[in-house]
A and B are shown apart, each in its own frame.
Chain A
Amino acid sequence: MNAAAPVFRRSRTSKIVDRLMRGVLWAIALTFVAVLILFVGAILKQGWPVLNLGFLTKMPETLDAGGGIKPQIFNSIYLVILSLGISLPVGLGAGIYMAAYAGQGRALRFLRLCIETLAATPSIVLALFGMIVFVQAMGWSFSIRSGALTLALLNIPVITRVTEVSLLAVPRELKEASYGLGATKLQTILKVALPYAATGILTGLVLTAGRAFGESAILVFTAGTNASAHFPDFRLTVPGETLSVHLWYVTSDGTLPDAREIAAGTAAVMILVLLTLNLLVRLVDRAIRRRTR
């Protein structure tokens, strides 16, 4: 064997291939940028003519044109808050357990497996579960409470994972110092580790909220496709159609003469909300990074 011979041949062709593939990689990446711009542009452009104060503050029509999306906006926010309220304590608890108590053995591996499975479970499957348990077995029918509980199942694995990762990123010195000062394990977690991890968890929470806000499959089968005629209706027992469900329902139902416009407007509102959330996360992230630097 000749040790001096180069392992990679640098021929003319290899140079051309290298050039070519660099170009291909740039092209693929830029394609995704273009797809996103096109996508957001098209949705906003379609929805723009519909977007006005009336659309946002009127009740929806069932048969005539010109309805608004006021109760759907309310239901979307209400359901996101309720579902986060349910999933936050559970997700935090499970995440803390996995980061600080479960050790490194078989128990942790099994818990991780369960979290991953739940995270990968299609939302339509969660919808079926919610339909069997909350809608039918509990007799709650299509209601805000059925929807919020099922939606929480979607959030729990995400919050758990974010909590675990953020807690594991807490520097060991901090925890050691806390123990060294005589803190108990609980005090160390609550007063040292969680505050340090809070920004990470908060970022994850906002992203989870965005996901819950956009979820539709689960809510079609648990919160229903009707919105209460009262506004604002805080009752947990009434059906609660959200923006995403409304968008899907008017499109596939087809009884509204202006279903297209309503759908376009709703889609634009949703995109605007999600862009705002995304921007918020980014600003918070940047502020924190600047502070810690």
Chain B
Amino acid sequence: MPQAPEVSIAAAPEGGYPVLEEGLRPAAASAPTFKHSRLQRLADRWAHLGFLICSLLVVVLIGGILYFLATRGLAAFLPLAGNTGRALSFSEVFLSADWAPSSDRFGILPFIAGSLGVTGLALLIAAPAGVLTGVFIAKMAPAWMRNLMRQVMDLLVGIPSVVYGIFGLTVVLPLVSRTWLADAPASGFAVSALILAVMIVPTIVSLSTDAFESLPAALDEGAQALGSSRWQAIWRVLIPAARPRLLTATVLGLGRAIGEAMAVQMVIGNNPQWMALMRESTDRAPFLRALFTPAATLTTELVQELPNTAAGSTWNNVLFAMGLLLYLLTMVLILATRRLGRGKEA
């Protein structure tokens, strides 16, 4: 493709030729081919401005969300005039497991641990299943199965989180409780993670299908020419080759899981004291017990308590700090996907 010299839009000749995307420009870069009327030029310029404003709005939004969450979230740690309570220290919020807002104790460690725990468990199921389904769709399934899987994933991703929640509440919880727990309540990490896994699998599947489909065909053909079986080609050539994008898919799935609120809130049991409960328990299999202990996460606690707190109270501010934490986490994850994708095609 002939590389035209970089011409910025601002420097285009008056009423000049249109600048096309992707470095494609009219061959004669110096002479405008058509004279456009004043009205056309004006409309062009105003439209350009309008489109620019629309995209700037998105940038402003990203900053605005950060600003407003920070003003409320950080207020918990600052001795501000509008606060009704005292200023907290970072360590008593982020490093303490003691959540008792009515007694002025605001340790959010149980929610951070809860979010990480439920997300980790969900990924443990969804990441391998998602990647393998991706490679299945891209490299193994016959056409009818490929189509069927696409439709299944489209539908799974379109189901609202409250419907996942009600399914978990009315179908999965009773089933698990009846079959494995001798009718003891089953809410907790295990069922939440299972529901979450189904919710994030479509994201991982569709991104990893893309990843496998965009690999050069020569890789697969080469492996087969060297005598690989289908699975050997997948396991030793295709998956390693697609790895950066598979990791990106997993990270985006992680982001979805950690931010999900309603479905998890409906099945996790909403117990902010779950860590204390675990510590006191003398159970022989603490991990297994933790799976079925009612717990709470950053998002579920927000849904649970935000409506009951007064704006400006320390309690309310700490809840907003939890929201800020979620937002910062999103940003870190997105930047991480950039890192992972670097060196590959953007």
Q: Which residues of A contact B (CB under 8 A)?
A: 6-8, 10, 14-15, 17-18, 21-22, 24-26, 28-29, 31-33, 35-36, 39-40, 42-43, 46, 89-94, 96-104, 109-111, 113-118, 120-126, 128-129, 131-133, 136, 153, 156-157, 160, 168, 172, 175-176, 179, 182-189, 207, 210-211, 213-217, 220-221, 244-245, 247-248, 251-252, 260, 263-264, 267, 270-271, 274-275, 277-278, 282
Contact = CB atoms under 8 A, between A and B. Distances in A.
B26 to A, nearest CB: 7
A278 B162 contact: no
Contacts of B148: 33
> Helix, strand, loop or mixed for chain A's interface?
helix
Given A111-B55, A264-B170, A184 B44 contact: yes
9 contacts: A8-B236, A43-B163, A97-B55, A101-B52, A125-B326, A128-B306, A186-B48, A217-B261, A267-B162
Contacts of A247: 162-163, 166
Contacts of B163: 43, 214, 244, 247, 267, 270-271
B333 A128 contact: no
Given A90-B57, A160-B58, A29 B136 contact: yes
Q: Which 4 residue pairs spanning A and B have beta carbons closest together?
A: A122-B259, A214-B160, A93-B54, A97-B51
Most buried by A among B9, B153, B160, B262: B160
A134 to B, nearest CB: 11
A125 B231 contact: no
Contact of B152 (A33, A116, A120): A33
Nearest to B226: A7
A213 B48 contact: no
Contact of A100 (B21, B23, B61, B346): B21
> Helix, strand, loop or mixed for chain B's interface?
helix
Nearest to A37: B152
Interface stretch (B65-73, B79-87, B97-105, B283-291): B65-73
Contacts of B167: 39, 42-43, 267
Interface stretch (B32-40, B177-185, B210-218): B32-40
